[in-house]
Amino acid sequence: MFLQINNLHKQFNNQKVTSDVLTNINLDIKEGEFVSILGPSGCGKSTLLSIVAGLTKPTSGEILLGGNKIQKPGKDRGMVFQEAALFPWMTVEENVIFPLRKEMKKKEAREVAHKFLQMVQLGNYTNHSPHELSGGMQQRVSIARALSMNPKVLLMDEPFGALDEQTRARLHHELEKIWLKTKKTILFVTHSISESIKLSDRIIVMGTRPGVVLEDIHVEIPRPRGDYPEATAKLEAKISGLLKTEIDKVVKEELAYAANH
């Protein structure tokens, strides 16, 4: 397998209290797959992505990418966060070139940056500052920057979570086009069931407290998914049922805790 997550466990220690955030996570992801991680708040989705990125250490278990153990951040993994995280004093072009500056000469870096800015429909905005762009455009710059490093895996942590519905729908379309063109392996964290169904080959539904894999769903609906509303609605209902059980569990636990404190 291309990306392997083996017996992953993560604990956090806070004020002498140890809590299991992730437990017994096992996933095999093929090269070129688009995999969404979906679950309620607090289920460890972002923590899992952070461990794959090499930004957080697991308590136990391991992650292998192309047979090599992940122990720290690397250019084989590109990260896109919920906020675009662009340098405000740099132009769009300079933001995309920034991670390339040690890898290639300036002329080549500019060519690579322009290629990916064209891909995200921002070829005419190279000299703009981030503050001159909308939130959706800023996220497209962030995606272009991550892709410019030619990573083996693109890690996306709720990249469209802060955007309005119209912008989000447009970026779904853009991301799907980019994925079909580049065939990058994408690991995509989301709260949105419809977003995960629209974009993914597979949806990893997670339970919480501790974070576990409840179900690994292979989405068999042809693309574009909007052409198959009945199949999409059926899958959405199934996933909603799984998540409702988890959310109800969290609410009960919180009510019980409040009653005892």
Is residue 105 a part of any domain in this protein?
A: no
Residue 204 inside a domain? The answer is: yes
Q: Is residue 106 part of a domain?
A: no
| Predicted pLDDT at 40 | 87
Q: Are strands 202-207 and 34-38 parallel, antiparallel or unpaired?
A: parallel
The mean pLDDT values, 10 residues at a time, for the chain of 261 residues are 94 83 96 96 92 96 96 94 92 96 91 95 96 95 95 95 89 93 96 94 92 95 94 96 82 74 72
Nearest to 132, CA basis, from 101, 90, 180, 74: 90
Domain containing residue 192: 3-76+151-260
Q: Report if residue 94 sits inside a domain.
A: no
Asked if residue 101 belongs to a domain, the reply is no
| CATH code assigned at 159 | 3.40.50.300
Count how many domains the chain has.
Answer: 1
Residue 126 in any domain: the answer is: no
What predicted TM-score, i.e. pTM, was given to this entire model? 0.93
Secondary structure of the chain: what % helix, strand, coil (to 5)?
A: 45, 25, 30
- Residue 108: inside a domain, yes or no? no
